[in-house]
């Protein structure tokens, strides 16, 4: 899921394991542990795009990494506190600056949501986040920069448990999304994808974060702090169970629709649309085409009704060798759910259908996750994730507006 959600989950794990010993530092180090697996995105600084995408959600998201890394991190944490490095003024300035940058990024992400939905900032979100930002900087100055930090003492195995819980829960949560997580690396490159929750879902994240923020205001030995932490964990676990229940309903409804419309298919998948778990899409694979549809659980009668036919167009890629690394990567990455469109010259657009369409039907090539397959300057086939701005911004805004209306539900006629 998104980085903010993983930080919240990691912080909760840190608090549950070591909150009574470390106080808010347990949340801090849990948040760091929950972030570490996603540092694999930095691979793009050292290698090509295709290798970097294959590495993301790879070994650093594996169970083996989660089992080994906590021992090293626990040693470094004890060294860090044992030698008093955390009290050095230079370190405090660097750490404080990092937190400010992170906080600004988080607030920018929150304010970007109404831009996606309506094309403009919302003062109802902007003003509270600005106030929150001022409060955050003030607290950072008074409670961190200017304060003499107390001594930290925690057993080595407490640190191991803290980092293990915060790291191992990261790939497990990612498995609930549709991106695919290689939790069995380096023994297998199987991408586990349960596809029950969106990669960004505020209903999962916001209540969870509120519980932790309130808990952080209490003394580390206060029982209410522990109750709030576990309330957040129970909320997150219960919500994931709720998404699994929706998954079973979506599968049943989509299968019924395919049979009622006499559509012959080999397999199908369902998944939630972005930012919610109410509107779901389904993609079924036929011999020469895919069949796409959406349904809303808040509708009077939830059903997959409008079907878009997406031709596979495999003939467009017949001249690309099946064993070519770029073509192999696309088949592996998309789990075989892809169609192809001509783009320009020899360049082809390959669309990952596991992420569906931006809307309930195909309009102006509104695929959520397209790639370009092209020949690079060395004459080899290469890929590029085609996250371009839509040709029609108004259509883009309308699609998010329609999604919001669909999430509120369609009345019975």
Residue 206 has pLDDT above 70, yes or no: yes
Residue 308 in contact with residue 294, Cβ under 8 Å?
no
- Whole-number average pLDDT of the chain: 90
Range of the domain at 157: 3-243
In angstroms, the CA 379 to CA 155 distance is 57
Looking at the predicted structure, is the pLDDT value of residue 102 above 90? Answer: no
Asked whether the predicted pLDDT for residue 389 surpasses 60, the reply is no
* 283 has pLDDT over 90: yes
The reply to whether 319 and 217 lie within a common domain is: no
Partners of residue 270 on adjacent β-strands:
282
Whether 255 is covered by a domain: the verdict is no
Contact yes or no for 250/281 (Cβ under 8 A): no
Checking if the pLDDT of 305 tops 90, the result is no
> Tokens representing 106?
């988080």
Structural domain ending residue among the three candidates 216, 243, 270: 243
With residue 167 as reference, give the H or E element that holds it. helix 156-175
**Number of structural domains the chain divides into:** 2
Q: With a cut of 70, say whether residue 390 has pLDDT above it.
A: no
Q: Are 56 and 385 in contact (CB under 8 A)?
A: no
- How many CA atoms lie less than 13 Å away from 309 in the CB half-sphere? 10
Residue 208 located in a structural domain: yes
Predicted pLDDT of residue 262: 95
Q: Are residues 58 and 195 in the same domain?
A: yes
CA distance 285 to 273: 19
Last residue of a domain, one of 194, 210, 243: 243
Both 295 and 388 in a single domain?
yes
Identify whether the C-beta of residue 354 lies closer than 8 Å to the C-beta of residue 282: no
**For 42-51, 95-104, 232-241, 385-394, which range has the lowest pLDDT when averaged over its residues?**
385-394
Residue 124 or 80, more confident = 80
The position carrying tokens 């549809």 is 293
- How many angstroms separate the first and last alpha carbons of the chain? 37
Does any domain span residue 135? yes
Question: Residues of 393-404 as b/e, b for ≥16 C-beta within 10 angstroms?
Answer: eeebbebbeebe
Distance CA 238, CA 231 (A): 10
Residue 169 and residue 38 share a domain: yes
Q: What is the pLDDT of residues 154-171, one digit of tens each?
A: 899 999 999 999 999 999
Task: Taking residues 296-302, report their average pLDDT.
Answer: 89
Best CA proximity match to 198, nearest among 169, 173, 235: 173
Instruction: Say which residues have a Cβ less than 8 Å from residue 99's Cβ, sequence separation at least 6.
Output: 140
pLDDT, tens only, 324-370:
999 999 999 999 999 999 998 889 999 999 999 988 888 878 898 99
Are 101 and 218 contained in the same domain? yes
Mapped onto helix, strand or coil, the DSSP state of residue 271 is strand
pLDDT at 279 over 90: yes
Same domain? 93 vs 186:
yes
Q: Is the pLDDT of residue 178 over 90?
A: yes
Q: Are residue 107 and residue 30 in the same domain, yes or no?
A: yes
- Assess whether the previous peptide bond of 186 is cis (omega < 30° from 0): yes
**Residue 45 has what pLDDT?**
86
- The answer on 392 and 293 residing in a single domain is yes
Indicate whether 125 belongs to any domain: yes
Mean pLDDT check: name the lowest of 85-94, 119-128, 285-294: 119-128
Query: Does any domain span residue 284?
Result: yes
Whether residues 177 and 57 share a domain: the answer is: yes
CB 212 within 8 A of CB 229: yes
> What would you report as the CA-atom Rg of the chain, rounded to the nearest whole angstrom?
23
Q: Are residues 191 and 136 in the same domain?
A: yes
3-state secondary structure of 292: strand
pLDDT tens by residue, 212-224: 999 999 999 999 9
Residue 248 placed within a domain: no
Same domain, 199 and 306: no
Do residues 230 and 289 share a domain?
no
Q: Is residue 413 part of a domain?
A: no
Q: How confident is the model at residue 392 (pLDDT cuts 50, 70, 90)?
A: low
Does some domain include residue 252? no
Q: Which residue has the higher pLDDT, 262 or 150?
A: 262
């Amino acid at each position: 899921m998104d980085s903010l959600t993983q930080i919240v989950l990691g912080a909760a794990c840190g608090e549950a394991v070591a909150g009574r010993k470390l106080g808010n530092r347990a949340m801090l180090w849990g948040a760091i542990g929950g972030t570490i697996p996603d540092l694999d995105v930095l691979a793009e600084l050292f290698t090509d795009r295709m290798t970097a995408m294959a590495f993301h959600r790879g070994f650093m998201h594996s169970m083996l990494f989660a089992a080994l890394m906590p021992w090293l991190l626990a040693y470094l944490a004890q060294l860090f506190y044992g030698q008093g490095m955390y009290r050095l003024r230079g370190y405090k300035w660097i750490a404080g600056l990092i937190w400010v940058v992170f906080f600004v990024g988080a607030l920018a992400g929150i304010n970007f949501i109404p831009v996606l939905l309506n094309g403009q900032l919302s003062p109802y979100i902007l003003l509270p986040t600005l106030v929150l930002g001022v409060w955050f900087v003030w607290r950072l100055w008074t409670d961190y920069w200017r304060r003499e930090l107390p001594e930290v003492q925690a057993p080595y195995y407490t640190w191991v448990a803290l980092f293990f819980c915060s790291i191992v829960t990261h790939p497990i949560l990612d498995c609930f999304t549709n991106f695919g997580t290689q939790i069995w690396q380096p023994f297998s490159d199987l991408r586990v994808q349960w596809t029950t929750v969106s990669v960004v879902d505020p209903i999962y994240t916001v209540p969870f974060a509120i519980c932790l923020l309130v808990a952080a205001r209490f003394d580390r030995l206060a029982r209410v702090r522990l109750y709030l932490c576990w309330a957040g964990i129970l909320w997150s676990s219960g919500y994931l169970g709720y998404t699994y229940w929706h998954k079973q309903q979506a599968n049943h409804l989509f299968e019924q629709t395919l049979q009622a419309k006499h559509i012959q298919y080999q397999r199908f998948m369902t998944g939630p649309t972005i930012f919610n778990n109410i509107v779901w899409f389904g993609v079924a694979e036929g011999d020469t085409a895919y069949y796409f549809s959406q349904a809303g659980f808040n509708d009077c009668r939830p059903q997959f009704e409008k079907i878009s036919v997406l031709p596979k167009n495999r003939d467009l890629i017949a001249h690309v060798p099946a064993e070519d690394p770029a073509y192999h990567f696309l088949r592996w990455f998309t789990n075989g759910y892809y169609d192809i469109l001509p783009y320009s010259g020899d360049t082809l657009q390959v669309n990952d259908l596991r992420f569906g369409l931006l809307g309930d039907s195909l309009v102006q090539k509104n695929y959520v996750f397209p790639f370009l397959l092209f020949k690079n300057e060395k004459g080899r086939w290469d890929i590029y994730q085609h996250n371009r701005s839509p040709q029609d911004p108004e259509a883009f805004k309308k699609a998010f507006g329609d999604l919001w209306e669909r999430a509120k539900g369609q009345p019975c006629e």
